[in-house]
Amino acid sequence: MTKNMLARQTAEAVWAAAGRRHLARLGRLAPARCQKRILLGLVHEAAATRFGRDHDFRRIRTLVDYRRLVPLYSRADLWREYWQPVYPHLAGATWPGPSVALQAAHRSALQTALALVKHLRPRARLLSGALLVLSDEGPSSRTEHTFLAECLPALVRPYTVPCVEIEAERFAHLPVTGLIGPAERLLLLLDKIKQAGGKRCLRDIWPQLSAILYTRRPTDRPAARLRTEAGETVLLLEMVGRAEGPIAIEDPCHGLFRLLFDHGVYFEFVPPAQADEPRCPRFGIEEIELGVPYELALTSPAGLWACRLGRTVCLERRQPPLLRFVETAICKPSAAEARRPRRRTDLMSPTELLPEAHPQNTDIPAALPENAFHSPWSILADRG
């Protein structure tokens, strides 16, 4: 027991020092320079894909080249034009294949989140107990279970308890010091533990709980109840992102979200009123005006290129980049897409689409799952 406690205390000290260095490094970086480096790296990596050949990636040397050669896309556009024709063999369509780059992006985001927890609560001893990580609910959760564990920083993996199924009796007796996962899953776990053990509040279940890192879908609003459950003693931080890449993390010091500009993902900002135009203006983080709403477009190692997210933000500060989300509307179809006659292959029903479009494989989904926590590489599991 003494040896185990000594190992935990040593890991806690190393983690705290690593977190301070990580945040200090982020504070010294120039966001615009980091974003350019990330974009050109992604373009170089995907130059040999079908998408890269179609958009002449080998000619891209600057951000202006990228905006000129790659128009705005939606996930539905990418699915219809690049993923569906080759499904389930997605490698080489818009990205060479499932790679460590996407895992590294999520790992870096979790590292930043945990470093921020340690910065805000320096006396918290998260590694004195267990970090309980809940994966998203759904058919692909068993596939993403391993992926999520690999995204955790290596230092905290030995103290992490991954969870796919809700096992109230088991987790109620763990010395949990931190929770990570979707808000609705966390609330479901709390409800089950309360019913099974007769507990009244979160502190009754896990007295050592110090922090909760949660995600939520844009259309869900369970955060208020989660904040009520957590109370004032537990640090609650929201992480905004998708399976295709991390976006931002809540920073209570400023009451805003920190844009994760150096985490393997490239962001573009589009004026919402012009987003449906064929060649609408697109700006980098150094070009947008403070306090003005823009729609986010994402380029990531999941094979998304200038992909509209349907999330609108206002940048409130440049260093560090702090923003607020002003709406969570679902991305609307472009004007050209709205005028286009609806074809049979656009129907959402697999029973109507598949026999005609892909008679050799009846497992091909008619449309990419719109779950914000699924990536193109989890489509096969979603259908299973």
Query: Which structural domain, as residue segments, surrounds residue 250?
Result: 2-327
How high is the mean pLDDT of the chain? 80
Side-by-side strand order, sheet with 293-300: 160-163, 130-134, 176-182, 211-215, 235-242, 245-251, 256-259, 321-327, 304-318, 293-300, 266-270
Q: Exposed/middle/buried for 351, CB within 10 Å: 0-12, 13-18, 19+?
A: exposed
Q: Would you say residue 126 lies in a domain? A: yes
**Phi (first) and psi of residue 132, to 5 degrees:** -95, 120
Question: Which among 139, 197, 134 is positioned nearest to 166, based on CA atoms?
Answer: 134
Q: What is the DSSP letter of 58?
A: G
Give domain status of residue 376, yes or no.
Answer: no
**Interatomic CA distance for residues 297 and 154, integer angstroms:** 30
Backbone angles phi, psi at 299, to 5 degrees: -125, 125
Contacts of 286 (CB under 8 A, 6+ apart): 31, 32, 318
H/E element, 306: strand 304-318
pLDDT in tens, 10-27: 888 898 899 999 999 999
Structural domain includes residue 365: no
Indicate whether 107 belongs to any domain: yes
Task: Tell me how far the alpha carbon of residue 307 is from its chain's centroid.
Answer: 14
pLDDT (mean) for 80-86: 91
**For residue 51, how far is the Cα from the chain centroid?**
23
Q: Is 108 inside a domain boundary?
A: yes
Distances (CA, A) of 23 to 18, 28, 246: 9, 9, 17
Q: What is the CATH number of the domain that holds 318?
A: 3.40.50.12780
**Does the residue 69 lie in any domain?**
yes
- 89-140 per-position pLDDT tens digit: 889 999 998 768 888 999 999 999 999 999 999 988 888 888 888 876 443 3
Q: How many domains does the chain have?
A: 1
Query: What does the pLDDT read at residue 51?
Result: 97
Residue 178 lies in a domain: yes
Give domain status of residue 160, yes or no.
Answer: yes
